Amino acid sequence: MATVILGGGITGLGAGYFLSKAGESITVIEKRDSIGGMAASFKHKDFTFDVGPHKLYSTIPGIMNVYKELLGDDCVVVKKKNSLRLCGRYFSFPIKPLQFIIRFPKIKAISCSFSYLLTLMNKKTDIINYEDYFLSGFGNAAYKLLFENFCWKVWGDPKKISAELAKRRIPVPNITELVKNMLVKKQKPEFSADTFYYPKKGVGEVCEKLAENILKNGSISYGCQPSKIMVENGKITKIEIKKNIGKELLKNPKNVISTLYLQDVLPLFEPSPPQHILDAAQALKYRSLIIFYIIINKPKVLDDHWIFFPEKDFIFNRVSEQKNFCKDIAPENKTVLTAEISCDAEDYFFSLPQEELASLVMGDLEKAGLISRNDAAESHVIKIEKMYPVYDLSYKKNLQVVLDWLNSISNFYTIGRQGLFAYTNTDHSIDMAQKLAEHIIKNKTRDDWNYTIKYFDSYKIVD
């Protein structure tokens, strides 16, 4: 029987791709009517929109080659340009020393230096949360300026977010490293991408290519989701699949690879996991994301690929111009700006109607000096309820409880951003998929797999 893959995002398709290359037969089960998950692109009139513009970049050996191999001539190499808006001014990101000296408000720079010196004199040793981490590395003034509001905007209360997130998400741990980093001519590849790859038809093209290969020796079922996963003697023997119309029973899967949210997959098991396991999965929390697209009646707006907005005066965290990644995604005389707004699904923002959101986003884009309201032709919005895994102070313990229980099922593997509650990018998805395929093909032990999962913890996001 085939290996069953739950979820047709880049991780699930990646696993299917590497396994089918090794001759395994694959069945992918996807809930929606299209593949790609968060790394999908979709058509909107004459535009191709990504679910948030994606750069393809990796410091993991071999992954850039996988992208290249899949995309062939459709792979564009882009020289990256980012900025950061701070204290009413724009700075290149990573910040350049000369630009910083000339443009950064002097009073703020002096207050950051003094506050850092004070921190060095009273070094904090027990670093538990996000706030501890940056206060100890940057001092109070720089923490407040650069990191505190950004945390509130994207993840929530910095005192309730684990220092682990800070380490994974922001590669520079203190001011000394920041200054050293500013002074080097060429950034270290693990700090910042110099160039990145981008598919001519949008990021979704990677998933399309993975799927093409899977279909040579397997199938992808759309509009389907598992409704029961039956386990006998520590092994999955049947999966009930709910389709748009009717149900199907998949018997004796060789392996089952899930890329679904852990709280969605656990209740499907029969016999059911004990209540404390289900509770641990439910305790894993997410932040939501609103992705707001504004079509502009101009060929181009920004010089950058994206601009970060860490201050709370702007509702968005980041604004990108996807046409700067590749001009083919938009008509010649128009462009699109994408604004990302994080919040909780219960926040009033999340349920605001599109017109009200449009008014807020356009107001802030005007305030940022990027557009005039009259330039905007129309808007489009998508909302992702469970977007950012929230690394709160108990997430690690809860995650481990869930993974330990799942470990007892010999032919089940959970990987990917949702499957491992991991703050990851597409390169990590491809790497996880490749490592799992290799594990299965080489018939390695469960202990080997647990060791590999620990290695996934070392992934970092590079801007």
Ligand X SMILES: Cc1cc2nc3c(=O)[nH]c(=O)nc-3n(C[C@H](O)[C@H](O)[C@H](O)COP(=O)(O)OP(=O)(O)OC[C@H]3O[C@@H](n4cnc5c(N)ncnc54)[C@H](O)[C@@H]3O)c2cc1C
Binding site for ligand X (CB under 6 A): 6-12, 29-32, 37-39, 51-52, 54-56, 225, 259-260, 264, 291, 340, 387, 416-418, 424-427, 429
Shortest spacing between CB 34 and ligand X, in angstroms: 8
Tell me the C-alpha distance between 104 and 111, whole Å: 12
Nearer residue to ligand X within complex by CB, 40 or 371: 40
Tell me the C-alpha distance between 376 and 391, whole Å: 37
Nearer residue to ligand X within complex by CB, 337 or 387: 387
Contact 73, 226 (CB under 8 A): no
Query: Crossing angle for the helix pair 175-183 and 130-142, nearest 10 degrees?
Result: 70
Shortest spacing between CB 238 and ligand X, in angstroms: 16
Nearer residue to ligand X within complex by CB, 418 or 434: 418
Shortest spacing between CB 241 and ligand X, in angstroms: 9
Nearer residue to ligand X within complex by CB, 117 or 382: 382
Shortest spacing between CB 389 and ligand X, in angstroms: 10
Q: Which of 358, 361, 418 is nearest to 384 (CA)?
A: 418
Shortest spacing between CB 178 and ligand X, in angstroms: 22
Nearer residue to ligand X within complex by CB, 163 or 291: 291
10's CB contacts (< 8 A; 6+ apart) are: 36, 37, 38, 39, 206, 207, 210, 426, 429, 430, 433
Nearer residue to ligand X within complex by CB, 41 or 115: 41
Contact 268, 429 (CB under 8 A): no
Write the CA distances from 118 to 80, 112, 138, 360, integer angstroms: 36, 10, 10, 39
302's CB contacts (< 8 A; 6+ apart) are: 319, 321, 324, 337, 370
Nearer residue to ligand X within complex by CB, 8 or 139: 8
Per DSSP (E only), the strands in 153-207 are 195-199
Per DSSP (E only), the strands in 225-375 are 225-232, 235-242, 247-251, 256-258, 269-270, 286-296, 306-308, 318-321, 335-343
Shortest spacing between CB 87 and ligand X, in angstroms: 26
Shortest spacing between CB 306 and ligand X, in angstroms: 9
Shortest spacing between CB 198 and ligand X, in angstroms: 9
- Dihedral class, residue 41 (left if φ above 0, else alpha if ψ from -120 to 50, else beta): beta
Contact 229, 271 (CB under 8 A): no
Nearer residue to ligand X within complex by CB, 322 or 398: 322
